[in-house]
Structure 1
Amino acid sequence: MDPQLQALAAQQGNVILRPQLIEAGFTDDEIMRLRRSGVLTAIRRGAYVETPVWEALDDVGRHRSMTSAVVRQLKVPAVPSHVSAAVMLGLPTWGVDLSVVHVTRADLHAARLEAGVMHHAAALPGEDLCVVDGMTLTAPARTAVDIARDVPFEQGVVTADAALARFGNDHDRLLRTLDRMRTWRGARAAGRVVAFADGAAESVGESRARVQFERIGLPRPRLQVVIPGPDGQIFRPDFLFEEERTLGEFDGRSKYERSLGPDDDPASVVWREKQREDQLRQMGYELARLVWRDLGRDVSVRDRFQAAFGRARRRRAVRAA
Structure 2
Amino acid sequence: MDPRLLAICVDHGVFLRHEANDLGYRDDTIKKLVDTKAWHRVRRGAYVFGQTWRAADTAERYRLFCLATIRQSNVEVIPSHTSAVAFNGGPLWGLNLSVSHLTRPDGKTGRSAAGVRQHRGVLLDGDVVDVDGRRVMAPTRALLETTTVAPVEACICVADDFLRRGLTTSEQLRSRYALMTSWPSTLTTDLVVRLADGLHESVGETRTGYMIWRAGLPRPELQVEVCDENGTVIGRVDFAWPEHRLFLEFDGLQKYVKHLGPGETVADVVLREKHREEQICMLTGWRCVRITWDDLQRPEVIVQRIRNLMAAAA
Over 3 Å counting, the alpha-carbon distance change for 1:279 and 1:110 in structure 2 is: same
Separation (CA, whole Å) in 1 of partners of 2:268 and 2:114: 54
Separation (CA, whole Å) in 1 of partners of 2:313 and 2:275: 19
1:289 aligns with 2:285: no
The correspondence of residues 294-305 of structure 1 with structure 2, limited to 5 A, is 294-305=295-306
- Check conservation: 1:105, 1:121, Cα contact below 8 A: yes
Q: Could you report, residue by residue, the CA deviation over 1:250-291 in whole angstroms, capped at 9, with x for unpaired residues?
A: 000111233332243555434433332232222233221111
1:238 aligns with 2:234: no
Partner of 2:29: 33
Over 3 Å counting, the alpha-carbon distance change for 1:241 and 1:59 in structure 2 is: same
Shift in Å at residue 115 of structure 1?
A: 4.0
**Which amino acid letter does the alignment assign opposite residue 172 of structure 1?**
E
Separation (CA, whole Å) in 1 of partners of 2:270 and 2:239: 20
Partner of 1:65: 64
Q: Bigger CA drift: 288-297 or 299-308? A: 299-308
- Check conservation: 2:164, 2:201, Cα contact below 8 A: yes
Over 3 Å counting, the alpha-carbon distance change for 1:234 and 1:124 in structure 2 is: farther
Q: TM-score, normalised by structure 1?
A: 0.87
The correspondence of residues 46-85 of structure 1 with structure 2, limited to 5 A, is 46-85=45-84
**Which amino acid letter does the alignment assign opposite residue 298 of structure 1?**
P
Q: Could you report, residue by residue, the CA deviation over 1:38-57 in whole angstroms, capped at 9, with x for unpaired residues?
A: 33333334422113323443
Separation (CA, whole Å) in 1 of partners of 2:41 and 2:233: 56
**Which amino acid letter does the alignment assign opposite residue 24 of structure 2?**
T
- Check conservation: 2:107, 2:122, Cα contact below 8 A: no
Aligned residue pairs, count: 309
Structure 2: 5+ residue stretches without partners:
none
1:278 aligns with 2:275: no
Partner of 1:139: 138
Shift in Å at residue 85 of structure 1?
A: 0.8
- Check conservation: 1:94, 1:155, Cα contact below 8 A: yes
Q: Bigger CA drift: 52-61 or 206-215? A: 52-61
Q: Bigger CA drift: 80-89 or 54-63? A: 54-63
* Secondary structure, aligned partner of 2:122: coil
- Structure 1 runs, 4 residues or longer, greater than 3 Å off: 18-22, 55-59, 106-112, 263-271, 310-313
* Secondary structure, aligned partner of 1:226: strand
Separation (CA, whole Å) in 1 of partners of 2:90 and 2:40: 26
- Check conservation: 1:248, 1:289, Cα contact below 8 A: yes
Q: Could you report, residue by residue, the CA deviation over 1:64-94 in whole angstroms, capped at 9, with x for unpaired residues?
A: 1121122233232210001111111111111
- Check conservation: 1:156, 1:193, Cα contact below 8 A: yes
**Which amino acid letter does the alignment assign opposite residue 304 of structure 2?**
D
- Check conservation: 2:84, 2:136, Cα contact below 8 A: yes
- Check conservation: 1:81, 1:143, Cα contact below 8 A: yes
Identity %: 37
Q: Could you report, residue by residue, the CA deviation over 1:127-158 in whole angstroms, capped at 9, with x for unpaired residues?
A: 11111111111111111111112212111111
The correspondence of residues 145-224 of structure 1 with structure 2, limited to 5 A, is 145-168=144-167, 170-224=169-223
Separation (CA, whole Å) in 2 of partners of 1:142 and 1:84: 12
Separation (CA, whole Å) in 2 of partners of 1:45 and 1:133: 25
Shift in Å at residue 99 of structure 1?
A: 1.0
Over 3 Å counting, the alpha-carbon distance change for 1:308 and 1:256 in structure 2 is: farther
Q: Could you report, residue by residue, the CA deviation over 1:283-314 in whole angstroms, capped at 9, with x for unpaired residues?
A: 2332211110111212211122223324544x
1:123 aligns with 2:93: no
Separation (CA, whole Å) in 2 of partners of 1:266 and 1:154: 29
Partner of 1:318: none
Q: CA RMSD in A?
A: 2.3
* Secondary structure, aligned partner of 2:135: strand
Q: TM-score, normalised by structure 2?
A: 0.89
Structure 1: 5+ residue stretches without partners:
314-321
